[in-house]
Amino acid sequence: MSNAERFPHLKANDPEVYQLIQEQCELESTTLKMIASESYATYEVMEACGSPFTNK
């Protein structure tokens, strides 16, 4: 799944943040970080963070 497919509303409503996410995704997919304490969220977790569960 491409990032454009994952963030259509963000792309339309906040292109600056969308672009920053695009750049971060590119960085993470093309570089290797050797930090033992770091972890990356799965797509499922990232989707859940953008769900109604985050509404207050």
Structural domain tally of the chain?
Answer: 1
- Contact of 10 with 17, CB cutoff 8 Å: yes
Q: What is the token pair recorded at 44?
A: 């499922």
Instruction: Name the pTM for this structure.
Output: 0.60
pLDDT by residue (tens digit) across 16-56? 999 999 999 898 889 987 777 667 788 888 888 877 777 76
Round to whole Å and give the CA distance between 28 and 19. 14
Round to whole Å and give the CA distance between 23 and 26. 5
Per-residue pLDDT, 15: 93
- Contact of 22 with 29, CB cutoff 8 Å: no
- Give me the domain span that covers residue 10: 3-54
